[in-house]
Amino acid sequence: MDSAPEAGAVVTARGAGREAIAVAAGQIFAERGYHGASIRDIARRAGLSLSALYHWHSSKQDLLAALIEDSTQAYITACHAALAEAGNDPVDRLCALVRATVEYRVRHRVESNITAREWRNLEPAQQERLVGFRRSATRLWSDTVEAGVADSSFRCAHPADARRAIQAACNAISQWYDPSGPIRLPELVERYTEIALRIAHHDPGYRTDVGG
Amino acid sequence: MDSAPEAGAVVTARGAGREAIAVAAGQIFAERGYHGASIRDIARRAGLSLSALYHWHSSKQDLLAALIEDSTQAYITACHAALAEAGNDPVDRLCALVRATVEYRVRHRVESNITAREWRNLEPAQQERLVGFRRSATRLWSDTVEAGVADSSFRCAHPADARRAIQAACNAISQWYDPSGPIRLPELVERYTEIALRIAHHDPGYRTDVGG
Amino acid sequence: MDSAPEAGAVVTARGAGREAIAVAAGQIFAERGYHGASIRDIARRAGLSLSALYHWHSSKQDLLAALIEDSTQAYITACHAALAEAGNDPVDRLCALVRATVEYRVRHRVESNITAREWRNLEPAQQERLVGFRRSATRLWSDTVEAGVADSSFRCAHPADARRAIQAACNAISQWYDPSGPIRLPELVERYTEIALRIAHHDPGYRTDVGG
Amino acid sequence: MDSAPEAGAVVTARGAGREAIAVAAGQIFAERGYHGASIRDIARRAGLSLSALYHWHSSKQDLLAALIEDSTQAYITACHAALAEAGNDPVDRLCALVRATVEYRVRHRVESNITAREWRNLEPAQQERLVGFRRSATRLWSDTVEAGVADSSFRCAHPADARRAIQAACNAISQWYDPSGPIRLPELVERYTEIALRIAHHDPGYRTDVGG
DNA sequence: CATGAATGAGCTTTCATTCAT
DNA sequence: CATGAATGAAAGCTCATTCAT
């Protein structure tokens, strides 16, 4: 810290190996799936030897778990930040969650796909370790929808199904979104906010400044 | 079926191996994914020798392709049947597609999950061979939504996004639905019909005999 | 059995792979020890591919256990046969055990060395499975020595130590005996019989037709 | 070595690493054998880093050779000391060798087992370097037995076999002796002295103060 | 239709070792 | 003296697939 040359440079050098592995592993897991990915290819793409990879991660499983954990935590952090800005109104809060989620699914397509598809390839021990994060993310959604139902902002008859539908629709974005296509992120957020509010059966006459 | 002594029995015997393989492969691909599944385990669960499996399918890839093809076709057939019953009204037709899809995702959870998750593990040649089926299924949805927009049954501003959201919500069912849980299939169809109509922005005051 | 072409030929053909592996594994385990032996080298010396080896043995550990089990059982069988010929006199019985042991250690030097040196490399489960054989072999010796002490054929003060010393001396033969050297097997049996009787403190005046 | 600044403390500190490695390596080589032992585990048990280990020993092989050399020399030194006390009588000298050996095998079980079992894992160069020590130890025994035969203290017909049997019996002690068991070392020395004299065919009427 | 034996390529992982700091 | 990062080689093992029978 004190005698470090230029901060940034040193951080890069120190963690270079680990970071390169994380990037390469993300790409290859996303392309071929956990079992289809070979740890040799990951090391090669990271520009490291196979053994260097094992210096940083004790196993292929550990690598997957690290990726999923990091991504899950980053997503949850983004949700909390969005909710903190949103205040207490359930409609605002749902919009905030949609925005945070759409943004994350677009900006971190690779990690999002891995987290969604490869969860089942975590060994039971890792699933147990990480399942709390998953549940806490789901709870943010269900709490929000239920709060809206309670104060009559939302009039959907089956809040759990509404929540599942909204999440499914938002999460699917990382599977089809093409950043080189015509839709820009803010536009996408607006569209999915509208969809989510409709699924939750929010009466738009009620309040019109949605998504602003 | 019931009493056919020679014919039926022989037919059953003839197809028994192939059918056992399809069931076993479906289970194991669903549990562990294409690359995580071993062809030995599939043969074992089917109660057959490894070579018997190769008598029916020329490769592991062929087995996957057969599974995906069969399931996709069965789904499309179900969609066409439902649409045929539904007549020409876009609202009726959307409801029919939702019903066919929800029913298929519940009744064929395993195949649905495989089709969704393992598509990318098909070799390019197989993808090209089957991609037409996929597209035709998607077109059923988009044609229906667009027809509803055209005749003002649906007022969603972005039909493509609405279609994606509806499909994502319905398809996700096979991932979470628990047949031993409290929700019966007809009830589920009703709930998702409501969700779909809301996503498409159908005005319910317009027409009230939905789901009947 | 009934319709087999020529017995010998078929047996060779059928079990050829398995037998070749057993021979090669014996040699290489003996030369380099369990951990120093590579399963690739074993397969190569057996003239088979690596995978063919795994067709017969599920693991390197399984291969070692099979070797030790076979050898231990062959040794015990030889001891029982010798004892059966020997009758009831403890002196005769001790001589029989020495003869069976010396003969086995000379004729099966390789397996003897493996059994002695690699036992500790068996996993606990395999040790438990095989420890009974080991104990039964030791019991043949201790029963014999104790019977001789009981009827005053042997006057050693500490039968357990006598037994250990006799076994150690006989077992060591497989470590140093050179079949191309000057000592023939019958001569060796005679010498070790004498040594064993002396360790057991047998009074040679008593009975002189030892080893005949 | 050259400018040792504070003597005692420094000497301890200086040799601490090396000594810790020797202890750890002894334990791990004894538990798992040379090839089964990993140099990382040795460093870990010694409480040192991997590179610290390489500071003291240039290779795993060097570590093994150092262990075997030290132990062999210590054993030979003990034998010489015992013989020096014993005088010229072959019976006394054989008893001295037995005592030195039994004591060493009990007090240094770990090193004894390593020396016996891992000799073959020394590279040819190291074997050549150390084989002289081995031979000189064996010569102490054979000279003693032969001297006893020459002066008729021992009447065994085959001195070489007698010597091998005595050594095998004594050396085996380190494999089975349990220091928490009922037999104390002096008692064990007495028992094995008796066994050795009997193997050498010493007439006990001749001289009765054996083991005193 | 079905089997058992065999293969070659590839897998994840561990090893002893080196080197800049 | 000691560290952490990295390496190339080799380990044990599994894979989809083939083929004679």
pLDDT in tens, C122-172: 999 999 999 999 999 999 999 999 999 999 999 999 999 999 999 999 999
SS (H, E, C) A17-29: HHHHHHHHHHHHH
The rounded distance, in Å, linking the Cα atoms of D188 and D106 is: 9
How many other CB atoms are found less than 10 A from the CB of residue D200? 25
Query: φ, ψ for residue D211 (rounded to 5)?
Result: 80, -5
Chains contacting C (3 or more CB pairs within 8 Å) = D
Question: Which residue has the closest alpha carbon to E10 C1'?
Answer: A38
| CATH H-level, domain C60-206: superfamily | Tetracycline Repressor, domain 2 (1.10.357.10)
Confirm if C22 and C66 have CB atoms less than 8 A apart. Answer: yes
CATH T-level topology, domain D1-57: Arc Repressor Mutant, subunit A (1.10.10)
Q: Measured between CB atoms, which of B36, B120, B201 is closest to A35? A: B36
- Residue D204 pLDDT level (bands cut at 50, 70, 90): confident
Residues of chain A contacting residue B192, judged by C-beta atoms under 8 Å apart: 161, 165
Per-chain mean pLDDT for chain D? 90
- Residue C204 pLDDT level (bands cut at 50, 70, 90): confident
Strand partners, B154: B202
pLDDT at A40: 95
The rounded distance, in Å, linking the Cα atoms of B114 and B101 is: 15
Q: Pick out the nucleotide with least CA–C1' distance to B52.
A: E2
pLDDT at C203: 84
Q: What is the mean pLDDT of each run of 10 residues along chain A (212 residues)?
A: 36 67 94 96 93 94 95 97 96 98 97 96 95 96 98 96 98 97 97 98 65 42
Whether residue D3 is predicted with pLDDT greater than 70 in this model: the reply is: no
Mention the CATH class of domain D59-206: mainly alpha
For chain D, give the percent of residues with pLDDT over 70.
89
pLDDT at B206: 52
Q: Return the domain boundaries, chain C.
A: 1-57, 60-206
Whether residue C28 is predicted with pLDDT greater than 60 in this model: the reply is: yes
How many other CB atoms are found less than 10 A from the CB of residue C173? 22
The residues in B 81-100 lying below 8 A from A, measured between CB atoms, are none
The answer for residues whose C-beta is within 8 angstroms of residue C15's C-beta and 6 or more apart is none
Confirm if C65 and C58 have CB atoms less than 8 A apart. Answer: no
Residues of chain B contacting residue A199, judged by C-beta atoms under 8 Å apart: 165, 169, 195, 198-199
* Mean predicted confidence (pLDDT) in B24-34: 95
pLDDT at C16: 79
pLDDT at A13: 54
Confirm if B34 and B121 have CB atoms less than 8 A apart. Answer: yes
The rounded distance, in Å, linking the Cα atoms of C187 and C181 is: 12
- Residue D9 pLDDT level (bands cut at 50, 70, 90): very low
pLDDT at D203: 83
Query: φ, ψ for residue B109 (rounded to 5)?
Result: -60, -45
- Dihedral angle computed from the Cα positions of residues D84, D86, D89 and D91, in that order, rounded to the nearest 10 degrees: -130
* Mean predicted confidence (pLDDT) in B7-25: 66
- Residue B204 pLDDT level (bands cut at 50, 70, 90): confident
Residue C8, Cβ density class (10 Å: 0-12 exposed, 13-18 middle, ≥19 buried): exposed
Residues of chain A contacting residue B32, judged by C-beta atoms under 8 Å apart: 35
Say yes or no: domain B67-206 is CATH 3.10.20.600: no
Give the model confidence (pLDDT) of A170-203 as tens digits: 999 999 999 999 999 999 999 999 999 999 999 8
Nearest Cα of chain C lies from the Cα of D187 at a distance, in angstroms, of 11
Assess whether chains D and C touch, using the rule of 3 or more C-beta pairs within 8 angstroms. Answer: yes
Confirm if A144 and A197 have CB atoms less than 8 A apart. Answer: no
Say which DSSP state B177 is in: -
Alpha helices per DSSP H over chain A: 8-32, 39-46, 50-56, 60-86, 90-107, 109-118, 124-150, 159-176, 185-199
pLDDT at A17: 76
Say which DSSP state A34 is in: T
Q: In which residue are the tokens 């939302």 written? A: A154
Q: Measured between CB atoms, which of C120, C168, C195 is closest to D172? A: C168
* Mean predicted confidence (pLDDT) in D45-51: 91
Whether residue C207 is predicted with pLDDT greater than 50 in this model: the reply is: no
- Residue C205 pLDDT level (bands cut at 50, 70, 90): low
Assess whether chains C and B touch, using the rule of 3 or more C-beta pairs within 8 angstroms. Answer: no
Q: Measured between CB atoms, which of C35, C120, C165 is closest to D195? A: C165
Map residue A202 onto helix, strand or coil: strand
Confirm if C75 and C118 have CB atoms less than 8 A apart. Answer: no
pLDDT at D75: 97
User: Which residue is closest to B171 within chain A, CA to CA?
Assistant: A168
Give the model confidence (pLDDT) of B177-196 as tens digits: 999 999 999 999 999 999 99
The answer for residues whose C-beta is within 8 angstroms of residue C132's C-beta and 6 or more apart is none
Q: How many CB pairs under 8 A join C and D?
A: 71
Range of lowest pLDDT (A117-121, B154-158, C18-22, C30-34): C18-22
Tokens of A124: 């039971």
pLDDT at B203: 84
Residue B69, Cβ density class (10 Å: 0-12 exposed, 13-18 middle, ≥19 buried): middle
The rounded distance, in Å, linking the Cα atoms of A24 and A43 is: 7
Q: Which residues put CB within 7 Å of chain F, the nucleic strand?
A: A 14, 16-17, 48-52, 54-56; B 37-40, 50-51, 54, 58-61; C 37-41, 50-51, 54, 58-61; D 13-14, 17, 48-52, 55
pLDDT at B14: 54
Give the model confidence (pLDDT) of C49-102 as tens digits: 999 999 999 999 999 999 999 999 999 999 999 999 999 999 999 999 999 999
* Mean predicted confidence (pLDDT) in B137-156: 97
Interface contact flag, C33 D35, Cβ < 8 Å: yes
- Using the Cβ of D135 and the Cβ atoms of chain C, whether some distance falls under 8 Å is answered with no
User: Which residue is closest to A188 within chain B, CA to CA?
Assistant: B161
Nearest Cα of chain B lies from the Cα of A197 at a distance, in angstroms, of 9
* Mean predicted confidence (pLDDT) in C175-183: 97
Give the model confidence (pLDDT) of D138-173 as tens digits: 999 999 999 999 999 999 999 999 999 999 999 999
pLDDT at B5: 37
Whether residue B38 is predicted with pLDDT greater than 80 in this model: the reply is: yes
Give the model confidence (pLDDT) of C44-61 as tens digits: 999 999 999 999 999 999
Give the model confidence (pLDDT) of B64-119 as tens digits: 999 999 999 999 999 999 999 999 999 999 999 999 999 999 999 999 999 999 99
CA-nearest of D132, D1, D131, D130 to D66 is D130
* Mean predicted confidence (pLDDT) in B134-143: 97
Residue D156, Cβ density class (10 Å: 0-12 exposed, 13-18 middle, ≥19 buried): buried
How far does CA A82 lie from the centroid of its chain?
A: 13
